[in-house]
Amino acid sequence: MSDASLSTLAARLAGKQISSRELAQTYLDRITALNPSINAFITVDAEKTLLEAAAADALIAAGSAGPLTGVPIAHKDIFCTDGWLTTCGSKMLGNFVAPYDAHVIQRFKAAGMPSLGKTNMDEFAMGSSNETSYFGAVKNPWNAAYVPGGSSGGAAACVAARMAPAATGTDTGGSIRQPAALCGITGLKPTYGLVSRYGMIAFASSLDQAGPMAPSAEDCALLLNVMTGFDPSDSTSLDREKEDYTRDLNKPLAGLRVGLPKEFFAEGLNNEVAAAVEAAVNDLKKLGAIPVEISLANSRLAIPVYYVLAPAEASSNLSRFDGVRYGYRAPAYGSLDDMYCKTRAQGFGAEVKRRIMIGAYVLSHGYYDAYYLQAQKIRRLIADDFSEAFKSCDVILGPTTPGTAFKLGEKSDDPVEMYLNDLYTIPANLAGLPGMSLPCGFDGKGLPIGLQLVGNYFSEAKMLNVAHQYQRATDWHSRQPEGLK
């Protein structure tokens, strides 16, 4: 049952072949068995999950079910969830029980999808390996000695290990796509503003975007149908007509122009990753796609631009965590200022402190013009490169990451080396474009390789079509880690 797609699970529920309670219990049992070794979940509450599943069964019995009613899902612990511990992977929120639901959580509750729990993540979504979590590192289900990627590493790992049929994630600089690539699943970051950020604990507000993570593109399309929609509570939410993201899944790819950025196939790309991506290009050619060489000349500047802008926004967003209103407070202090200092020193981890300090520096008097404003100008140039590229192609294709998963602790002492893992994913965030990762092979160590697709604004249906047709022609997305079946 844990191998089934979302559409298969939904059909079995609708046909009364299984109840939502039975399905939820199947996954809860799997979480109990596997989570101690993978550490994908921070919070699991079987009682809450089974109550939600019983409510879904009642909807099905009454004939009021939606397309995914009764199918359970896991949520990244960055989404406020009423009555659930919502930690953002940090000691700072280690005791915070959210009093309301994020818009994304509201959408899934309205769809009748029970929550299996809250997944582990890099602290405040800052990291590329899921090693910065206060609750311990997540292990890659393909090899527990390796990282699952981050910051949505818990979500990716739980889906790869089939502890959940799907999960929500967030992507600020690649945090859905990079862990999806390292764990061998499919993950999609929508166009900025397509999914509400209300109730999603902010890292960098102009970059953060929620999206689905699941084994296949078809699953992601079904989840995106639930997640999207205008939200008046979010000033960046886009008020546009609702789409059915499954509508183009079965369209042929004949004549599709696939852009291959020459900058993504240059120095620094692992040979095995390059070979797998090249093989995927050949598979798409057999399906009728036409490769087109393009240039994203300013993409080489994406990492320095990101690590000016994202920390700047983070330093502002994280100023609210002061020990006064909610969350952790230092147990001993001499004054209000002392409480602020000790609370933040004790509550935040090293990577979060590093980014707050960088952000405060680039926003300070005398450096704002030299760093922050210059980064914003280059951000515009990066977006312009994409706009020019889409004049000659329909989607852009390349590797999701320069290499495959690395060993736990291997890059912990070298932040810059860690940041380079997001080399190919960050440009789409800076431009606000949709991007997705799907499995396209394995390296010599048996670790998954990810293929990235980037589309023009609001072209999620086209990207999902390309991914679905590729997945119909290959079986990389259906493979699972040995020993976890």
Angle subtended at Cα 312 by Cα 227 and Cα 426, rounded to the nearest 5 degrees: 55
Give dist(CA 296, CA 261) in Å, integer: 6
Tell me the mean pLDDT in the region 235-252: 96
pLDDT in tens, 176-185: 999 999 999 9
Is residue 2 over pLDDT 90? no
Is residue 414 over pLDDT 90? no
pLDDT in tens, 132-167: 999 999 999 999 999 999 999 999 999 999 999 999
- Strands 290-294 and 435-442, by their bridges, are unpaired
- Strands 395-399 and 290-294, by their bridges, are unpaired
Token readout for 468 is: 């679905």
Q: How many CA atoms lie within 13 A of 302 on its CB side?
A: 30
pLDDT band at 420 (very low <50, low <70, confident <90, very high): confident
**Active centre residues (catalytic):** 76, 151, 175
Are 179 and 141 a contacting pair, CB within 8 Å? no
Are 484 and 162 a contacting pair, CB within 8 Å? yes
Which residue has tokens 């300013």?
Answer: 298
pLDDT band at 267 (very low <50, low <70, confident <90, very high): confident
What pLDDT, on the 0 to 100 scale, is given for residue 417? 86
Are 236 and 197 a contacting pair, CB within 8 Å? yes
Q: Tell me the three state secondary structure of residue 328.
A: coil
Q: Which of 4, 39, 199 is nearest to 117 (CA)?
A: 39
Helix (H) or strand (E) holding 181: helix 177-183
Tell me the mean pLDDT in the region 359-385: 95
Cβ atoms within 10 Å, residue 485: 9
- In a 10 Å sphere around its CB, with 0-12 CB exposed, 13-18 middle and 19+ buried, how is residue 7 labelled? middle
Q: Is the dihedral of CA 272, 275, 280, 286 positive or negative?
A: negative
Q: Which of 152, 144, 139 is nearest to 89 (CA)?
A: 152
What pLDDT, on the 0 to 100 scale, is given for residue 465? 98
Q: Is the dihedral of CA 106, 181, 311, 346 positive or negative?
A: positive
Angle subtended at Cα 230 by Cα 97 and Cα 430, rounded to the nearest 5 degrees: 85
pLDDT in tens, 16-44: 999 999 999 999 999 999 999 999 999 99
Token readout for 427 is: 């440009």
What pLDDT, on the 0 to 100 scale, is given for residue 416? 82
Give dist(CA 248, CA 482) in Å, integer: 33
Mean pLDDT over the full length of the chain: 97
pLDDT in tens, 448-457: 999 999 999 9
The residue type found at 276 is A
Is residue 290 over pLDDT 90? yes
Q: Which of 266, 274, 193 is nearest to 231 (CA)?
A: 193
Q: Where are the beta strands (DSSP E) in 45-129?
A: 73-76, 115-119
Is residue 485 over pLDDT 70? no
Is residue 343 over pLDDT 80? yes
Is residue 299 over pLDDT 70? yes
Is residue 251 over pLDDT 90? yes
Are 218 and 468 a contacting pair, CB within 8 Å? yes
Domains of the chain are 6-256 (3.90.1300.10)
Q: Against a cut of 0.85, is the pTM above it? A: yes
Q: Where are the beta strands (DSSP E) in 172-261?
A: 186-189, 209-214, 257-261
CA 482 to chain centroid: 24
Cβ atoms within 10 Å, residue 387: 12
Tell me the mean pLDDT in the region 320-345: 96
Per-residue DSSP letter, 345 = H
What pLDDT, on the 0 to 100 scale, is given for residue 483? 74
- 484 or 220: which carries more pLDDT confidence? 220
